[in-house]
Amino acid sequence: MTIRHEPERHTQGAGEPAEGLTRREAVVRLSSAALAAAAVGAGTLGFFERRRASAAEPAIRDWRLPVQGEAARAVAARGADAAANVRRALAALGGMERFLRRGETVLLKPNVGWDRLPEQAANTDPLVVAELVRLCRAAGAARVIVADISCNDPGRCFARSGIAAAVAAAGGEALDARRLPMAAASLPGAAAGLEVIEQLLTVDRVINVPVAKHHGLSRVTLGMKNWFGVLGRGRNRLHQDIDRSIAELGAIFRPTLTVIDATRVLLDNGPQGGSLDDVKAVGAVAAGVDPVLLDAWGAVQLGVKPRQLGFLVEAEKRGLGKGDPGLVQELGKA
Amino acid sequence: MAVRPGPVHAVLLLALAGAVGLVLTRGRRTREDPAAVLAALRQAQGPRLPAAGRAGASLLGEPARYDRDRLYELIDGAADAYLARGFERCVAATFGVGRVEVAAEAHRFGSEAGARAQLDAERPRRAGPVAGLAAVSDGSVLLAVSGRDLLKLTALSAGPGAGEALAVLAAAWEEGRRP
C-alpha cells in the first residue's frame, strides 16, 4: 500500500495561496541553509582554532637513552685529527653502541647552513660528520641520514662544505635539502605552527652535530641553536626573542647525543662568516648527553663565558642540563 | 531624464583639473632634467652586482634579491645588524672567476654612513686596502662602499688566485657604477 502525499500549500491567510512554496520545499531549503551554516561555522571555528588543532599533530619524540651508572655526561678530545677526536670522545662515553641498537635509523643534524668551505668554519667539519656516520654504521645502524635546512642554496652548501661527499663515502645518506619533505608537528612556544623535517618524526635516534661559532644575535651558535635548522618556513620569527627561543628548542628536541665540533671555530662575523681571519683552529670535539653542558663547553672554546649567554642561563633554569663547563671530562691531546 | 549640472559636478571637474595639472607639472619637470631621470631610474633599480662580462667572470645561477623582510633568508642572525644600520635591499649571486668561485652580495642602505658602518663592523682584522680600489680585503673577503651600496665578496675556493678574483670583481663593480 502506498501513501500519496499531496503537496500542501502554506497559506498566508484564509484561502490565500502562498508564492508556490510547498512544505517539502520549505523543509529542503531549511535543511540546506542549516547545512551551509554548519559548514561555515565549522570552517570558521577550524580556522581560529588551528593552533589548538595542531596539538593533534605528532609530537617530537624524546630520543635520549637512560644514562647508566657513573658514565660521563660529556667528554672532550683534542688533537689535530678531527676524526680521531670523535672516536676518542665516543669511546670515553662507552662507544656508539651505547647510544643505538642494531637495525635502527639514525639522523645526524650538522650545521650545513652556508655556502662555505670547511676552512671558513661556518659549517660542521665534514670529517666529524663522516666519522659519526662510520661509528653509527659500525654500531649496527641500518641507515644513517644527514639533514639540515640550509640558509644558502642547499645544493651548494652540502657540496662546498664537503659534507655531501664525506657522508656518501662513509656509508651515510645526505638528504637532498632542495626536496626535503616537511611535516607538521606539535611544537609549543614560539615554534608553534612551524613544520619540521619529516624524518625527525620517524627516525629512532638523533645526533646533533653543531659547529661552535659566533652569531650576530645570540653571540654564539652551538647545539640548541642548531635546531633552527630542522624548522621550516617562518623560523625567522624565533629571532624575536632569541634566548628564550633557543631554550625552548632545547626543551623540544632531546637528542640521543650531542657532538660539538670545535675543530675550527668562527670567532666573528657569524653565522655565515667568510674571512679566514675570523677562524681559529682549536682542534677539539666534545660529545655527550647533556646539551646544556656541551653548549657551555662550546662557548668557552669561543672565548665566551657561559654565564653571559642568556639562552644557557634560561636552559639551565628549565632543568635541561648543567651550564658548568668544568663538568666536561677533558681527555687531553691524542 | 536630463541631468542638470550642479555643484557636485563642479567639484568633480575641479578635482580632475587638479590631477591633470599635477601630472603635467611633474612630467615637465622630469622631461626637463634627463640626468635626474637617469638617477631616479638607477635609484629604483636598487644595488647592482659586478657585470660578469666586464670582469671576465661567469654568473653561476640566477641572482637572488632580498628586502628587509627576507634578509634573514640570506644571512640569518647577521640580519639584525644590517637592519639596524638602515639596510634596504640587496642582490646576491655566485660568480666564477677562472677557477675561483666568489659569493657576491650588493647591499643598499638608507645612507652612505650606514653602508660604511657595516663595512667597519665586518672588516676582517688583517684587511688592507686594495690597490686602485676603494675597498679592503684580506684575500678571502673583500668589502667596498660606493654611495649607499656595500659590496661584499667572499672567496669560495681556497688557494692562490682568490684575492685576485675578488679584486677583479670589485673593479668591475666600481667601473659599472661610474656615470
Query: Is any Cβ of chain B less than 8 angstroms from the Cβ of A277?
Result: yes
Q: What percentage of chain B has pLDDT greater than the value 90?
A: 66
- Digit-coded pLDDT (tens) for A78-124: 999 999 999 999 999 999 999 999 999 999 999 999 999 999 999 99
Which domain covers residue A133, as residue numbers? 77-333
Within-domain flag for A133: yes
Spatial separation of the C-alpha atoms in residues A244 and A189, rounded to whole Å: 9
SS3 A265: strand
Q: Do B78 and A274 touch (CB under 8 A)?
A: no
> Is A8 at the interface with chain B, CB within 8 A?
no
Question: What gap in Å lies between CA B152 and CA B107, rounded to an integer?
Answer: 8
CB contact under 8 A, A277 and B138: yes
Contact residues of B toward A, CB < 8 A: 61, 72-81, 94, 103, 122, 124-127, 138-141, 152, 154, 156-158
CA distance B144 to chain A (A): 15
pLDDT tens per residue across span A280-306: 999 999 999 999 999 999 999 999 999
For B77, the closest of A115, A160, A271 (CB atoms) is A271
Q: Which residue from A132, A114, A135 is spatially nearest to A123, judged by alpha carbons?
A: A114
The band of B1, judged by pLDDT with boundaries at 50, 70 and 90, is low
Query: Between chains, do B140 and A274 touch, taking CB under 8 Å as contact?
Result: yes
Instruction: Look up the ipTM and state it.
Output: 0.76
- Asked if residue A2 has pLDDT above 80, the reply is no
pLDDT (tens digit per residue) in A123-166: 999 999 999 999 999 999 999 999 999 999 999 999 999 999 99
B41: pLDDT strictly greater than 70? no
Chain Cα centroid distance, residue B98: 25
More confident residue, A56 or B109: B109
> At A150, is the secondary structure helix, strand, or coil?
coil
If you measure CA to CA, which chain B residue comes closest to A274?
Answer: B154
Express each pLDDT in A212-229 by its tens digit.
999 999 999 999 999 999
User: Residue holding cell 542638470?
Assistant: B4
Q: Does A159 touch chain B (CB under 8 A)?
A: no
pLDDT digits (tens, 9 = 90+) for A170-203: 999 999 888 999 999 999 999 999 999 999 999 9
Residue A117 and residue B156: Cβ atoms within 8 Å? yes
**For position B29, what pLDDT does the model report?**
62
Would you say residue B66 has pLDDT above 90? Answer: yes
Going by their DSSP bridges, the two strands B135-137 and B141-146 should be labelled as antiparallel
How many distinct structural domains can be found in chain A?
1
Which range, A21-35, A36-50, A57-71, A271-285, is most confident?
A271-285
How far from A264 is each of A148, A159, A281, A302, B145, CA to CA, in Å? 20, 19, 4, 10, 30
Lowest mean pLDDT among A29-33, A77-81, A263-267, B120-124: A29-33
Q: Would you call A133 helix, strand, or coil by DSSP?
A: helix
C-alpha distance from A266 to closest chain B C-alpha (Å):
12
Integer Cα distance of A50 and B74 in angstroms: 30
The structure's pTM equals 0.80
**What are the b/e assignments for A153-167, b being 16+ CB within 10 Å?**
bbebbbebbbbbebb
Q: Cβ of A178 under 8 Å from any chain B Cβ?
A: no
Average pLDDT for B103-129: 96
pLDDT at A19 over 50: yes
Q: Which residues pair with B104 in a beta bridge?
A: B93, B153
Which residues of chain A have a CB within 8 Å of the CB of B72? 236, 239
**Other CB atoms within 10 Å distance of the CB of residue B112:** 15
Q: What is the CATH number of the domain that holds A215?
A: 3.40.50
Residues of chain A positioned with their CB less than 8 A from the CB of B152: 274
The CA angle A170-A206-A272, to the nearest 5 degrees, is: 75
Domain boundaries along the sequence of chain B: 47-177
Give the pLDDT of residue B38: 63
H or E stretch covering A23: helix A23-48
A50-74 per-position pLDDT tens digit: 544 445 789 999 999 987 766 789 9
Rg (alpha carbons) of chain A, rounded to whole number: 28
What's the gap in Å between the CA of B26 and the closest CA on chain A?
A: 41
Mean pLDDT for the stretch of residues B87-95: 97
Candidates A150, A305, A287; CA nearest to A223 is A287
Q: How many residues does chain A have?
A: 334
Q: How far is A66 from chain B (nearest CA, A)?
A: 34
Q: Is A267 left (phi over 0), alpha (psi -120 to 50) or beta?
A: alpha
C-beta separation of A211 from A265 below 8 A: yes
Q: Which residues of B touch A126 (CB under 8 A)?
A: none
Report chain B residues whose CB lies below 8 A from the CB of A116.
154, 156
Which residues of chain A have a CB within 8 Å of the CB of B122?
269
Nearest of A209, A325, A324, A297 to residue A257 by alpha carbon: A209
pLDDT of residue A121: 98
pLDDT level of residue A15 (50, 70, 90 thresholds): very low
Residue in chain B closest to A119 (alpha carbons) equals B158
Dihedrals φ, ψ of B150, to 5°?
-115, 125
Across the interface, of A113, A115, A217, the residue whose CB is closest to B156 is A115
- Looking at residue A186, its pLDDT comes to 92
* Residue A30: per-residue pLDDT: 84
